[in-house]
């Protein structure tokens, strides 16, 4: 099985280095890590923060225009479909993924056939807040509902886990790629909401996965350097 993670990134030089290191440290390292640098000035992104980490498994691409995360996520999926990837793992540049995160995600797909569309989110997570001195306050939390759920969605039982923990196989990637450009999704700016809506509209249930302990940590945006870059 060919596994890839993907990371759209804007302006987060130090976080991107941490992200690359986390994926290189995985017990089952992804076969590809697709990094999409985006935003005005991204063609001048200072690669000195990650240059020593680049190798044959890391693909860098640059979009100098400003795109929202829904557009960027769809582009990453299209690019990785062309690389014949089987399992797609969303990895945010500013979050924390334990060294066995990919292995944990892979285990969730045991018994899933190549033609069976399957998508997972994690429920357990660590909630991380940083103070001005760089100290971390970490709490264990559960995430049972997706961000931005309307009352209508809640009433019809729509659920998903932590948005930065999307993992899905090739049939799901092909579905997202085929539908993302449709007019009815044009107003959606966040990738997790775009994916959720496409899957719901096509009868796909996002599997909420429980782990014995959190293997992922969400860094609260108001406490990191991405806070001023809304669509990074």
Q: Which CATH number does the domain housing residue 127 bear?
A: 3.90.550.10
Question: By residue range, what is the domain housing residue 83?
Answer: 3-223
pLDDT for residue 222: 59
pLDDT for residue 232: 43
Structure tokens at 135: 């100290």
- Tell me, yes or no, whether 91 lies in a domain: yes
- Tell me, yes or no, whether 114 lies in a domain: yes
pLDDT for residue 161: 76
- Tell me, yes or no, whether 228 lies in a domain: no
Does residue 218 sit in helix, strand or coil? Answer: strand
Please count the CA atoms within 13 angstroms of the CA of 103 that sit on its side-chain side: 11
- Tell me, yes or no, whether 232 lies in a domain: no
**Alpha-carbon gap, residue 104 to 109, rounded angstroms:** 9
- Tell me, yes or no, whether 231 lies in a domain: no
pLDDT for residue 146: 64
What's 229's DSSP letter?
A: -
- Tell me, yes or no, whether 229 lies in a domain: no
What's 212's DSSP letter?
A: S
- Encode 192-205: b = buried (16+ Cβ within 10 Å), e = exposed: bbbbbbbbeeeebe
pLDDT for residue 10: 85
Smallest CA-to-CA distance from 4 within 179, 168, 120 is with: 168
Query: In which residue ranges of the chain is pLDDT below 70?
Result: 145-148, 221-232
- Tell me, yes or no, whether 35 lies in a domain: yes
Work out how many domains the chain is built from and give that number.
1
Count of all residues that appear for the chain in the document: 232
- Tell me, yes or no, whether 230 lies in a domain: no
pLDDT for residue 106: 96
């Amino acid at each position: 099985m060919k596994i890839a993670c993907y990371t759209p990134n804007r302006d987060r030089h130090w976080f991107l280095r941490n992200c690359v290191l986390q994926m290189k440290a995985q017990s089952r390292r992804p076969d590809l890590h697709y990094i999409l640098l985006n935003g005005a000035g991204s063609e001048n992104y200072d690669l000195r923060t990650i240059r020593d980490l680049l190798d044959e498994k890391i693909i860098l691409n640059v979009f100098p225009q400003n795109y929202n995360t829904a557009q960027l996520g769809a582009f990453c999926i299209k690019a990785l479909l062309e690389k014949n990837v089987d399992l797609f793992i969303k990895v945010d540049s500013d979050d924390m993924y334990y060294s066995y995160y990919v292995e944990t995600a892979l285990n969730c797909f045991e018994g899933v056939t190549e033609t069976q569309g399957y998508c997972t989110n994690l429920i357990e997570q660590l909630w991380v807040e940083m103070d001005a001195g760089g100290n971390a306050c970490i709490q264990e939390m559960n995430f049972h509902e997706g961000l931005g759920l309307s009352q209508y969605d809640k009433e019809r039982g729509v659920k998903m886990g932590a948005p930065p923990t999307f993992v899905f196989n090739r049939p799901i990637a092909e579905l997202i790629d085929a539908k993302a450009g449709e007019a009815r999704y044009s107003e959606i700016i966040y990738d997790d909401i775009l994916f959720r809506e496409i899957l719901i509209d096509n009868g796909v249930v996002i599997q909420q996965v429980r782990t014995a302990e959190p293997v992922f940590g969400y860094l609260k945006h108001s406490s990191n350097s991405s806070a001023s870059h809304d669509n990074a």
